[in-house]
């Protein structure tokens, strides 16, 4: 089966959201996805993109079929004041029925190559510790677990606590 990788375009937002939800479902977090196609469009294809995406496409059975988007990576650039620019991998997913033909490897290779070309010193991401297959997948490829090895814990302020914190204290 042939596939091709390309930069995501505005027309892809509905497929991107579909794949985001499929990945969240795999992580048993489907109800956490509140993002909409409209937000994906504004945030990814406006003047200042908050994220970038590559998609993997399979050509349909007949040449008259539309190609189908079966995998994607969502990423953005971050900054580590110790070592500089980083590429942050937010989501990485290939539909189950299209795995095993090299799409995932090619998406990751493309992204790593982009990281090097844009002079990022590392590629960062987060994995749930109970997601054994993914943890092994990344460790086999040389990823370090900074939480385990250096003790870094990820903390978050959600919207409500963010609003509370952003309100100046009474004098």
Partner 1 sequence: MDFSIRAANVEDCKDIARMIVELSEYEKVAEHVKVTQRDLEQDGFSKNPFFHGIVAEVPEQHKTKEGHTKIGYALYFYSYSSWSGRAVYMEDLYVMPEFRGKGIGKALMSKVAQLGLAAGCNQLNFTVLDWNKPSLDFYLSQGSVDVTASMGYHCMRCDGEALQHLAQP
Give the catalytic positions in this structure. 138
**DSSP classification of residue 159:** H
Least distance from partner 1 to the Cβ atom of residue 63, Å = 28
Based on CB atoms, which residue is closest to partner 1, 61 or 159?
159
Q: Would you say 93 and 19 are in contact if contact means Cβ atoms under 8 Å apart?
A: yes
Q: Distance between CA 38 and CA 35 in Å, rounded?
A: 8
Least distance from partner 1 to the Cβ atom of residue 113, Å = 4
Q: Distance between CA 42 and CA 157 in Å, rounded?
A: 23
Based on CB atoms, which residue is closest to partner 1, 14 or 147?
147
Q: Distance between CA 14 and CA 56 in Å, rounded?
A: 14
Based on CB atoms, which residue is closest to partner 1, 6 or 128?
128
Q: Would you say 20 and 39 are in contact if contact means Cβ atoms under 8 Å apart?
A: no
Based on CB atoms, which residue is closest to partner 1, 1 or 154?
154
- 3-state class of 44 per DSSP? helix
Q: Distance between CA 165 and CA 79 in Å, rounded?
A: 24
Least distance from partner 1 to the Cβ atom of residue 106, Å = 10
Least distance from partner 1 to the Cβ atom of residue 105, Å = 9
């Amino acid at each position: 089966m042939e596939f091709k990788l390309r930069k995501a375009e505005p027309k892809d937002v509905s497929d991107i959201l579909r794949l985001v939800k499929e990945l969240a479902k795999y992580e048993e977090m489907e109800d956490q996805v509140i993002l909409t196609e409209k937000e994906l469009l504004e945030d990814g294809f406006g003047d200042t993109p908050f994220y970038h995406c590559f998609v993997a496409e399979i050509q349909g059975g007949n040449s008259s079929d539309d190609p189908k988007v079966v995998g994607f990576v969502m990423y953005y650039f971050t900054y580590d004041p110790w070592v500089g620019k980083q590429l942050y991998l937010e989501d990485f997913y290939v539909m189950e029925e299209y795995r095993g033909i090299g799409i995932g490897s090619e998406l990751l290779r493309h992204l790593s190559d982009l990281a090097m070309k844009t002079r990022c010193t590392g590629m960062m991401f987060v994995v749930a510790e109970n997601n054994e297959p993914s943890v092994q997948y990344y460790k086999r490829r040389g990823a370090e677990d900074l939480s385990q090895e250096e003790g870094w814990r990820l903390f978050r302020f959600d919207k409500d606590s963010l609003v509370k914190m952003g309100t100046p204290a009474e004098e």
